[in-house]
Amino acid sequence: MSNKIKRINLNHSFIFFLFCNIFSVIVFKFSNLNISTLFCLLLILTIGVSHGALDHLKGKKLLSILNIKKFYIFYLIYTLMALSVILIWTIVPAITLIVFLAVASFHFGKEDTQFLINKNSNLTSLLYFFRGLLVIIVPLYFNFDETVTIFKMLLIDNEQLYSGLSFIEKYKIIEIAISLSALSSIILFLIEFNFKKFAIFLDFFSIIILNYYLSPLVAFTIYFCFLHSIRHTVSLALEMDNTNLKNGFILFVKKAFPLTVLTAIFCLVGLYFLNNVYELNSAILKIIFIGLASLTFPHILLEYFLEKNEK
C-alpha cells in the first residue's frame, strides 16, 4: 500500500500545484475578488476538520490496546484537553500561541511527508518540524502586516507582540526559518531517493505561491483544506479499503460525518456568542485558530500514543 499512497499523493501534489498557480493568478488578476473570512471558516469546518473526525475510532483502538473497556473515558479526556487549551489560551495567549505554532509545524511537516519516509528517527522528526515551519513563517515574509493583525486578534498583548517581532526582525528569524525549511525539504528529498519524492518540492512551491498572491488566512485555508486534510483523508480511506479508494472514501465520509457536524455546530454556537463581544472577522479568526489549537493538541497526542502502543 505504501507505493500506492506515494503515487496518489504525488498526483495530488501535482494537481494542487497547478490549482495554486491558476487560482492565485485569477485572484491576483481580479484584485476586487474578495474571499470572506466566513467562507474560509466554512471550508475549515467541513473539509478541514473532517480529517480528524475519526479520532473516536482511533481512541477506541487505543483503549482496546490498553485493555480499557470504558469508552466514555476517551471522550472525557479528549474534550477536557480541548477545553483546557481554550482556557490556557485566554490566560497566557502569547505562550500558548508559540507552543501551538511549534506543534503545528511538526504536525504539518510530518503528516504531509511521512508517507515518503520509511524510517523514523530524531533527525527525520527535526526535518519534519522545519519543513512544516514553512506554513507558519512564510505568511510573515510576504504579508507581514496582515499576519501581525491576525496575531493581535488572537488576544495577544501588543507589548508582547512587538517585543517578539523586534526580536524576529533583529535576528532575521523569518529568513533563517525559510532557509531551514528549504534545506530540510532537500534532505528529505535525498534520503532514499525516488521519483515520487518530487511531491516534497511541489508542496513547498505551492505554499510559497499561495502566500505570495493571497492573504494569510486564504492561503492557510487552501493549504489546510486541500493539501493537508485531503492527504490525511486519502490515507484514512485506504486504511478502510486498500483495494478501492472510492469505496474507502465513501466509508470515511459516513464515519466522519457525525463528529464533523458536531464540531461545526459547536464552532458556530461559539461564533454566535463571540460575535456579541467582538467584530465578526475577529470572532471568526478566534474560532478558526484557537478552535484548531484546541483540536490539534488532543489529535496529535492521540496519534502519538496510538503509534507508540501499536509498536
| pLDDT classification of 32: cutoffs 50, 70, 90 | low
pLDDT of 222 reads: 96
Give the C-alpha distances (Å, rounded to integers) separating 118 from 6, 61, 114, 214, 250.
Answer: 11, 24, 8, 35, 28
User: How do residues 168-201 score in pLDDT, each as one tens digit?
Assistant: 888 899 999 999 999 999 999 998 788 889 999 9
pTM for this predicted structure:
0.93
Contact 105, 135 (CB under 8 A): yes
pLDDT of 261 reads: 92
pLDDT of 57 reads: 87
User: Given a cut of 60, is residue 50 above it in pLDDT?
Assistant: yes
| pLDDT classification of 72: cutoffs 50, 70, 90 | confident
What does the mean pLDDT of the chain come to? 91
- Pick left, alpha or beta for residue 194 (phi over 0 → left; psi -120 to 50 → alpha; otherwise beta): beta
Q: Which three cell numbers stand for residue 6?
A: 506515494
- Residue 267 CA to residue 107 CA, distance in Å, equals 22
Number of Cβ within 10 Å of residue 17's Cβ equals: 19
User: Given a cut of 70, is residue 33 above it in pLDDT?
Assistant: no
User: Given a cut of 70, is residue 232 above it in pLDDT?
Assistant: yes
pLDDT of 191 reads: 87
